């Protein structure tokens, strides 16, 4: 579908004049466009058509992002040499003062300043990048630890709630809507045999031993921008910033940073966790959060990657049993392939778990 980007640009209050706009990035949720302005001394911008089928309350979503970016901006102002437009996302208000608009066709849109001269990576190929990624997420969490006001809204309820995910899996196993359960004996056994252990973080939270904090909840590495020297710059994609446990962010980062193969690798012999990248990321992360986290949070950091890798595996398995209705697939067995690859990564983490714990203890 085509949109009149110049008209939509005109609903907002940017500096500069619209020159041209084109699709930007590889995101699957929103439609994203980069807008170039005519003036060389003015910012360029990101326009996004927001997916209100996944995010059903756009004002609530935008309120979360407004609160987070305003707080981060205030924190950065206290750090000498900070570049506010590059180290934090900047929302551009619409002419009515809101941070979003609704076009004549009922589409929701928002606008950010485009962060120039950045680098982002889907694959982490050295420990320096892993360290900087950990530093970026750690700084993000640490800066938000004292954000005033009430809790942020849950933009996707129970997103990382493994008890909820397991309830859904067990229900789909009983229903067997696509007639696949009989062929999945081994996969179901591997996942369900670990189910009680994976409830550990939720139990620690309910007992008051770890607090709910503000977490990003989608910390794959390409949501971290590095500068032209591959130093930590900015954390992006704030749609899922909401209450959570720090282990969700740390775990998802390790899942994506340290995997020696693709998320959907068919050849399971290629799937391992790179312990050197784990140590580098953890070092960067704890360099920023060491004074923020309590002792129990630190103690269970090594467990976090197992939990989040397992959780996404449960979601892939559930979707495969259900007939592939949620995740985009490229072939009928794609979710099964993903399911097996995530379990192989969990097993690799289990084999290296004692070493992971030693690394965390050394760093704290």
Residue with tokens 């340290």: 258
DSSP, collapsed to helix, strand or coil, labels residue 227 as coil
Q: Thinking of the domain 127-363, which architecture would CATH place it in?
A: Alpha-Beta Complex (3.90)
pLDDT beyond 80 at 351: yes
> Residues of the chain with pLDDT > 90: what percent?
95
With beta carbons less than 8 A apart as the criterion, state whether 140 and 223 touch.
Answer: no
Scanning 176-271, the segments in alpha helix (DSSP H) are 185-192, 200-206, 246-257
Confidence (pTM): 0.93
User: What is the per-residue pLDDT across 12-44, written as a single tens digit (0 to 9) for each?
Assistant: 999 999 999 999 987 768 999 999 999 999 999
pLDDT beyond 90 at 326: no
Query: 304-321 vs 246-257: helix axis angle to the nearest 10?
Result: 80
Cα gap 343→336, rounded to integer Å: 11
Once rounded to an integer, what is the mean pLDDT over residues 136-145?
97
pLDDT beyond 80 at 1: no
Pairing of strands 31-37, 45-50: antiparallel
Per-residue pLDDT at 25: 83
Beta-carbon contacts of 275 under 8 Å, excluding residues fewer than 6 positions away, are 258, 352, 355, 356, 359
> Which residue ranges make up each domain of the chain?
5-113, 127-363
CATH superfamily for domain 5-113: Phosphorylase Kinase; domain 1 (3.30.200.20)
Once rounded to an integer, what is the mean pLDDT over residues 81-104?
96
């Amino acid at each position: 579908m085509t949109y009149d980007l110049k008209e939509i640009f005109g609903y907002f209050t940017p500096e500069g004049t619209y020159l041209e706009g084109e699709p930007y990035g590889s995101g699957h949720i929103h439609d994203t466009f980069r807008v170039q302005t005519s003036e060389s001394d003015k910012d360029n911008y990101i326009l996004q058509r927001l997916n209100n089928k996944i995010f059903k309350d756009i004002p609530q979503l935008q309120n979360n992002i407004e609160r987070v970016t305003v707080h981060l901006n205030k924190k950065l102002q206290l750090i000498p040499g900070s570049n506010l437009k590059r180290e934090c996302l900047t929302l551009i208000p619409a002419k009515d003062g809101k941070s979003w608009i609704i076009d004549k066709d009922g589409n929701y849109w928002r606008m950010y300043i485009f962060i120039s001269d950045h680098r982002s990576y889907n694959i982490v190929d050295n420990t320096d990048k892993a360290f900087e990624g950990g530093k970026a997420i750690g700084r993000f969490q640490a800066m938000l630890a004292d954000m005033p006001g009430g809790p942020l809204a849950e933009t996707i309820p129970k997103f990382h709630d493994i008890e909820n995910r397991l309830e859904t899996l067990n229900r789909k196993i009983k229903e067997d809507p696509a007639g696949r359960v009989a062929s999945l004996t081994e996969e179901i056994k591997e996942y369900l045999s670990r189910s009680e252990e994976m409830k550990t973080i939720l139990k620690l939270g309910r007992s008051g031993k770890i607090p709910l904090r503000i977490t990003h909840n989608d910390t794959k590495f390409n949501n971290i921008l590095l500068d032209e020297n591959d130093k930590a710059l900015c954390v992006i994609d704030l749609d899922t910033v909401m209450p959570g446990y720090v282990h969700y962010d740390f775990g998802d980062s390790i899942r994506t940073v340290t995997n020696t193969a693709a998320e959907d690798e068919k050849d399971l012999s290629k799937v391992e966790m790179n312990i050197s990248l784990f140590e580098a990321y953890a070092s960067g992360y704890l360099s920023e959060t060491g004074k923020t986290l309590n002792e129990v949070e630190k103690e269970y950091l090594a467990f976090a990657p197992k939990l989040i890798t397992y959780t996404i595996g449960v979601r892939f398995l559930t979707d495969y049993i259900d007939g592939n209705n949620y995740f985009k697939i490229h072939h009928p067995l794609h979710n099964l392939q993903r399911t097996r690859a995530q379990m192989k990564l969990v097993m690799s983490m289990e084999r290296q778990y004692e070493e992971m714990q030693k690394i965390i203890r050394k760093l704290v």
